[in-house]
Structure 1
Amino acid sequence: MSAIPELEGVITADELRTTAEHLASLQLDTGMIPWFPGGHCDPWNHVETAMALDVAGLHTEAERAYIWLQDTQRADGSWHAYYANDGSVEESKLDTNVCAYIATGVWHHWRSTWDRGFAENLWPTVMKALDFVLSLRRDDGLALWAIEANERPWNYALLTGTASIQHALRCGAQLAEALNEPRPDWVRAADEMALAVRTKPESFEPKTRWAMDWYYPVLTGAMTGDDAKKRMASGWDTFVMEGLGIRCVSDEPWVTASETAECALAFAAMGDTSTATDLLQWTRTHRRDDGSYWTGIVYPVEGGKHDAPVLFPFDEHTSYTAAAVVLAVDAITRTTQASNLFVA
């Protein structure tokens, strides 16, 4: 059995295994992994959770998650944004970033297992998904944020989504090479998107209030080197609550463990494992005995609304939050074969 990642002061191997077992317990017979028992599922966070299962060696459960995506993929290569616990469509829009992320997940699974047969089985699903995303590019090469199944009510692109899509395209291209099905067009599209992320902020709908727009260009490798360091330094005072974690939004004292773990991934991606480890250590406050993690905690500030920290959303502990912690631990410790998915 492969080694289980552990990081001193953050999580032991036994604790990480407990977290993975909690995630596996959420999985339905269909293979779908909801946010929490009885909750809904979105394909992006579903993939992130499948990757966490692979980190812990739960490869069968991860495969069931990808088969669910294969079984529910629409004919055009897309998925709806949200599915209810019974598998029905809860929110119908087709989000390009949500649809692209399967390429990241299947490439991670390949690197985790070297199972060529499974990758070949999922290849048509990955190919249709990425081709769907690229069919929604604007003239400037950026994919629309989302469409409805029969109309295009939005005409804008998102910075975080674009950064994630270009990374998914590169993962898909690596999978394509491994399967002798090269797709250089995916790399060219990723390069064009990454250039826009680095140099054309005016191309995106402004979402600077959200922490993800700060760190995602670095997390996904769209920004590297000095550019990455400058970007992470520029947002530190805005989004970091020292000793507590990362604010989800800049104007509220609301710390989310998923954003904190993802920000740790961004620091790990640029080689700053010390800061990444500090950030992950702060997620301990969110950890529950069953291995799950509270989604968010609102902390009091002078003149604020609360006299003491409160959970927000109340009593919510989400699959994607725990999954983000697991992936960040693996990226820092470089334990598994797929640990450098984000760390070059």
Structure 2
Amino acid sequence: MGLMSNICLTDALADLIRFPSVSATSNVDVSNHVRGYLEELGFVVETTEYLDSAGIRKMNLVACRDPIGGNPRGNSGLAYFCHTDVVPVTQWNGPSDDAFVATIANERLYGRGSCDMKGSLVAMLAAADRVTRAEQTSPLWIVCTADEEVGFEGAAHLVNHSAAYREIVDAQPLAIIGEPTGLRVVHAHKGIAGFSVTSHGKAAHSSTDAGVNANIAIVPILELLRDIGDETRSDESLMDHRFDPPHLSWNFGVSDGCTAVNITPERSVAWCCLRTMPTIDGEGLIARVAEAAKLRGLEFKRFKGGNPVWIQPDSHCITDLCKLVGSPSNTVCYGTDAGEFYELEQRVIFGPGDIAQAHTTNEWISLDQLSRGADIYTDVVRRWCTMKL
């Protein structure tokens, strides 16, 4: 019996959940814990580190287990991708008082990261244990990145700094991004883009004329954002009906940070986020806002976004996985690290858990999805790394 056979899935997931790897903190400890699992399973592990914008140490890892005797030419294998960071816990309504203490109730395992996406990682670790290296005829990679929840920063760093990732690109394996899809095959997803417009005024007591209200200059920008939002929901040229919803999900807001009604706001920020699609990037719409901001002397700033993904649904990597799973592929409207891995031609998003449970105040994964995920991942490893299935 192997490592994950001796440790039940729920215990292994609880082990990962207890690391509070919120994106604003370091993920080094949880990454080293996963590294221990992988090395026991016979993987050779490369780690790359970087400091995020706040100076916090982050870690990516790429683990590879080649067949005994090396990789036969032409057998590209399987690469599994996940992230080890989780979203913050500002409120928790799970069965326990602590979001980082896994709790089982009602055939569910509750805890921050259980669904997004430490449960998926545990399912793949179990699959890697059930298929031995002696059975492999092609390589198996397991890749864990940082900062997926805050702009895909870890994946971007991996692409630019990991020698092991270059080997994956050269091999062009089936690349599974194990986000929670309910074990349904996803061949495409939207990207994300965003920007802000900042108006600078002058603070003063509101009973005087000494101040300059920053909100006054931002009002025309808000009107433009509203009008463009209406356009995205009525102009067919801005829609792609392969997605639901088919529009850009143009979302905007404003904040002046004012804490008292007797202060003239000195700064007002309008922001906008949109979900780009493979043939609709929204750049013309963004340019209209940038030009309007420039004409008014306002500060315009782009945010780092993420690329959309489109893999042809009739490509072999999609149809073969759909045949194994027993259901057709579909599209989704959220984004993943897959957008950063654009050099990989056989990408698919596929993993246990329901995206509706991700980021919630009582995040959970069903025990059935966790178990089925491990079973299906095992079949996938056998199909792409042993050719036995």
- Greater relative CO, 1 or 2 (CA 8 Å, sep 6+): 2
Based on CA coordinates, which of the two structures has the bigger radius of gyration?
2
Task: Indicate the structure with greater helix content.
Answer: 1
State the TM-score bracket (shorter-chain normalisation): under 0.3
Question: When the two structures are superposed, what TM-score results if normalisation uses the length of structure 1?
Answer: 0.26
Question: When the two structures are superposed, what TM-score results if normalisation uses the length of structure 2?
Answer: 0.24
